[in-house]
Amino acid sequence: MLRPDETDLLQRALDGDIGEADRRRLGRLLAESEDARVYATALGEVTRGLESDASAEPSQAAVAAIMAHVRQQPLAQRPGWTDRLQGVFGGVLRVVNEMEGVMSRKAKIVWGISATAVVILIAVWIVGVPRVDEGADATIGAAKRHQAQQIGAGDVTVAGTEAQAFMQSETFDRLLKDPNARKVLANADMRALLADTEMRAGLAEDGFAAALRMIARDAALARVYAQEDLAAAMGRADLRDSLMSAEMQAALADDAYAAAIARADLRDAFSAADLQVLYADANLMAAFGKTAIQSALKNGQFRLALADMKLRAELEAADLKAAFNDADLKAALARDAIRVGLGRPQMQAALAVSEYRTALASTALKSAFAQSNARALFTDAAMLRAFSDAAVRGSLTSASFKSAMASADFRAGVASAAARQALSGAAARAAMQSAEMRALISDAAFEAAVRSSALQSALMHNGFAAAVRTTAFSNALAAAN
């Protein structure tokens, strides 16, 4: 009878998954054990039966049939910014709830979060961000945790006459009394995010705002939509798209529709799918749920950057999402200097280039982000100017540069004030465009030169720095290599 470790060894041997010591052990086992030999023979037979099979060749007809279907069907679009906005809301709300220690009732909370998010979206769009006494909130002790103070109607800034109907609705009443909503709205990050002008402008865009307005205008309809299951259904892209259509908006204005949607069976039909669409993007959600990102959101410039439509579009890119999920990058984002850098137009322009994002996601650059001198490099004004140059971005994405960045000495050298000033010059940027320059960067001798005190001193000299920035110098450099 074979022991489990012996059958494991024979199985691993079949896959070539053994080292030299295992090979010797296998030899001994096969020599000494009849059971092992029988088992090895049986495994060999199974493997021969599995692997001596013929290949299926693609027929032209099969490929043509697939391509005929492909040409007829539209590509699914990436989730729009409203999806991501809801994702952000969901992430922030989830963090708030985690802090409150209520995640043990996970499923219920997820539904509740969605309902609250929809209600808050409506409320924020219509009436602005309610003012909540932060001081009072801070003094609520553990003993008073469940004695939820209510948001007073006077704490709300009324933005327009159409808000009146909504303010008289049960939905709004529920929002005012809901301790969860109150805590969410009292959260400084959330309020800062919602109060952001750009974010508000985004909320008012296109059919999204039209649909919200339509729901909010009718108290009965608002009450129906505030129900948890329907609120969850609103997170579904297909339902949201339908809400934005002219036909659906016309339907929403019809009393009969409100009556129909109040029926439980119809609501069930709407909410049949779970929240996968709303939370479909696990990577982005995870990133927004992290403390470092939350901290970054407090920064006004970072929020402005987020509110920028172009950057929001870039946030959809998978490679950037992966970069945002990286531990080193998250640690970097927690630093003020990096956040300020991200908020600058040059950095946003750089982020819009896919090669730059690829570079950001590379192991070498992520490692570099963890180093203080490299962080300084990425936030320096001169370097940011350089980042906006296509040639520099091109060189940043080269394998040789990434390799060079992995060296602490090289990073220290490049991060020096003099080197940064030199690199920001047009001639240096032009030189970086050349293959020779990129090869040079990865050369050990160049690395030694960059970190040498002599070169540092020379670069500090205005005349030398000026010379480095000339076309003649870069031409000479290229010729020398």
Partner 1 sequence: MYSEVSTEGEDVLITRCLQGDPDSFEPLVVRYYRPLFRVATRMLDDPEDARDATQTAFLKAYQALATFDRHRQFFSWICRILVNDCLNVLRARRPSQPLDDSLADPPGDTADPVQAGELRRRVRQALLELTPEQREVVVLRHFAEMSYEQAAAVLGIEEKMVKSRLYSARQRLCELLAAERIDRNASTRRDRPVTARP
**Cβ contacts of residue 230 below 8 Å, gap of 6+?**
224, 261, 267, 270, 271
CB of 455 to partner 1, least distance (A): 38
53 binds partner 1 (CB under 8 A): yes
52 binds partner 1 (CB under 8 A): yes
26 binds partner 1 (CB under 8 A): no
**Nearer CB in complex with partner 1: 47/452:** 47
318 binds partner 1 (CB under 8 A): yes
15 binds partner 1 (CB under 8 A): yes
Q: Using only C-alpha atoms, what is the Rg of the chain?
A: 30
Restricted to residues 326-385, the positions that interact with partner 1 (CB under 8 A) are 361
Residue from the set 3, 24, 47, 197 that interacts with partner 1 by CB under 8 A: 47
Residue from the set 13, 29, 39, 183 that interacts with partner 1 by CB under 8 A: 39
Identify whether the C-beta of residue 176 lies closer than 8 Å to the C-beta of residue 151: yes
76 binds partner 1 (CB under 8 A): yes
CB of 61 to partner 1, least distance (A): 10
CB of 320 to partner 1, least distance (A): 10
56 binds partner 1 (CB under 8 A): yes
Residue from the set 273, 286, 304, 322 that interacts with partner 1 by CB under 8 A: 322
Residue from the set 70, 138, 454, 472 that interacts with partner 1 by CB under 8 A: 70
Identify whether the C-beta of residue 214 lies closer than 8 Å to the C-beta of residue 253: yes
Task: Please report how many Cα atoms fall inside a 13 Å half-sphere around the Cα of residue 440, on the Cβ side.
Answer: 16
57 binds partner 1 (CB under 8 A): yes
319 binds partner 1 (CB under 8 A): yes
CB of 363 to partner 1, least distance (A): 12
Window contacting partner 1 (CB under 8 A); options: 11-19, 207-215, 391-399, 458-466: 11-19
Footprint of partner 1 (CB under 8 A): 7-8, 11, 14-15, 17, 39, 42-43, 45-58, 62-63, 65-67, 69-71, 73, 75-78, 318-319, 322, 361
